[in-house]
Amino acid sequence: MIHSSAPGKLMLFGEHSVIYGNPCIATSINKRLDVYLNDKNENGKELECTTIDALGINAKFPSNFEQHKFLNLTIAKFFEKYGQKNFELTTKPMPKGLGSSSAVVVAAVKALSALYNLTWSNDEIFKFSYEIVKEGQNGRASGYDIAVAVYGGTIRYENKNGDMKVKKLKNIRNLIAIDTGIKSSTTELVREISEKRNKYKEIFDGIFKIINKIVDEGEKEIMNENYEKIGELMNINHGILNAMGLSTYEIEILINGIKPYCYGAKISGAGRGDYIIAICKEQSKNDLMNYLRDRKIEAFEILPAEGVDVKFIKNL
C-alpha cells in the first residue's frame, strides 16, 4: 500500500491579487489530507475496478465525475499518459476551507507517481498538479495552494505568465486558524472580484499594487521575525479585503472580539467565510483560545508542516 499526504494552507498576504500574476505569502498548516492507494485486494489479486473514497464519499471511477472532479481528473490524466491500472484509492479528508482540493490532487499525484514508478521531483509534482487544477477551474488557477501543498512551510509565491517562483521563508510562531462558521464559495467570489476589476480596472490595479507592497513588507518582517509588524500588515490587508466586499458583519465582530489578544487578524482565502488567520501575542495565546472556546468557535494553532510526502506500507 502507498500512503501519501499533503498539507492544507492558509493565506497570509495577497488574496485575489495572486490570481492576476501578483505575489502572495501563504503557509502550510498542520492539517493534512491523506491518500491510501492499494493495487491488491485481501487475497493478493488485482482489483476488478478502481474505487474512490473521495472526501468521505464512495464512488466508482469514473462515475460521479462532478462530485470528485479533481480526484477523478487526476486519475484520468495518469490513465491517459501512462496507461490504465486497477487500484483502490481512499482519502482521509480535512476540513473545508483549508485547501483540500489542491491537497488531494498533490497527494494523489504523489501516490500515483509512485505506483507508476515515476521518480518525479517536487517541481515535477507541482507542474503536473497545477495543470490538473487549472483544467478543473476552467483555466483560472494561481497555483499558490498547490505550491504550499508540494513544498510546505511558509512561502512567497508568484506565477507571472507561467513563470512560477517559490521562495521559502521562515516559519511563523503564534499563528491561529479560526473557523468563522460560514461556508463560502471560492469560485463565486473569484468571479465576483473579476467582474469588479473589469468594471473598475484602474482602481483594482491600484489596490493590487498596494497589496504587492504589503507582500514585500510582510516578507521582510517575517524574515526579521517582527510579529507586531506582521500583525499590523495583516490588519491593513484585511481592511483592503473588507473594502473589496469580502468580509461580513459576523467576521468583523469576530475579528474585533479577538483584537485584545492579537497583533493582527484577517480573512484568509477568498473571503466571506471559512477561516480567518490571526497572529496572537505570546502572553495572550491561552486567553485567546479560552475566549474562542467559551464561544464555541473552532480554532487551532498553526504548527510548521512539511510538504507532500509518500511512504510504502506493507499490506497486512
Q: What is the 3-state secondary structure (H, E, C) of 33-51?
A: EEEEEECCCCCCCCCCCCE
Are 147 and 194 part of one and the same domain? Answer: no
> At which of 153, 170, 187 does a domain end?
170
DSSP-assigned letters across all residues of 170-236: ---SSEEEEE-S----HHHHHHHHHHHHHHSHHHHHHHHHHHHHHHHHHHHHHHHT-HHHHHHHHHH
- Both 117 and 27 in one domain: the answer is yes
Measured CA to CA, the distance from residue 156 to residue 18 in angstroms comes to 11
Nearest 5°: CA angle at 197, between 268 and 277?
5
Looking up residue 293, the CATH number of its domain turns out to be 3.30.70.890
Are 315 and 3 a contacting pair, CB within 8 Å? no
Asked whether residue 40 is domain-assigned, the answer is yes
Number of domains in the chain: 2
Domain that holds residue 182: 175-301
Please answer whether residues 16 and 268 qualify as being in contact, where contact means their C-beta atoms are separated by less than 8 angstroms: no
Q: What is the CATH number of the domain that holds 82?
A: 3.30.230.10
Looking at 135, 153, 170, which one is the last position of a domain? Answer: 170
Asked if 64 and 191 sit in the same domain, the reply is no
3-state DSSP assignment of residue 140:
coil
**279 three-state secondary structure:** strand
Are 182 and 162 contained in the same domain?
no
Helix ranges restricted to H, 116-183: 122-136, 144-151
**Whether residue 282 sits in one domain with residue 185:** yes
Is there a single domain that holds both residue 141 and residue 179?
no
Q: Write out residues in the chain with pLDDT < 50, as ranges.
A: 42, 47-50, 53-67, 316
Question: Within this chain, do residues 125 and 244 fall inside the same structural domain, yes or no?
Answer: no
Domain boundary among 170, 186, 208: 170
Identify whether the C-beta of residue 24 lies closer than 8 Å to the C-beta of residue 145: no
Would 307 be classed as within a structural domain?
Answer: no
Do 20 and 153 reside in the same domain of the chain?
Answer: yes
State the pTM of this model. 0.91
* Residues 14, 21 contacting (CB under 8 angstroms): no
Residue 21 lies in a domain: yes
Q: Identify the pLDDT of residue 40.
A: 62
Same domain, 142 and 200: no
How far apart (Å, rounded) are the C-alpha atoms in residues 13 and 8?
A: 16
What residues are paired with 57 via a beta bridge? Answer: 54
Please report the pLDDT score of residue 65 as a whole number: 40
CA-CA distance, 289 to 287, in Å (whole number)? 6
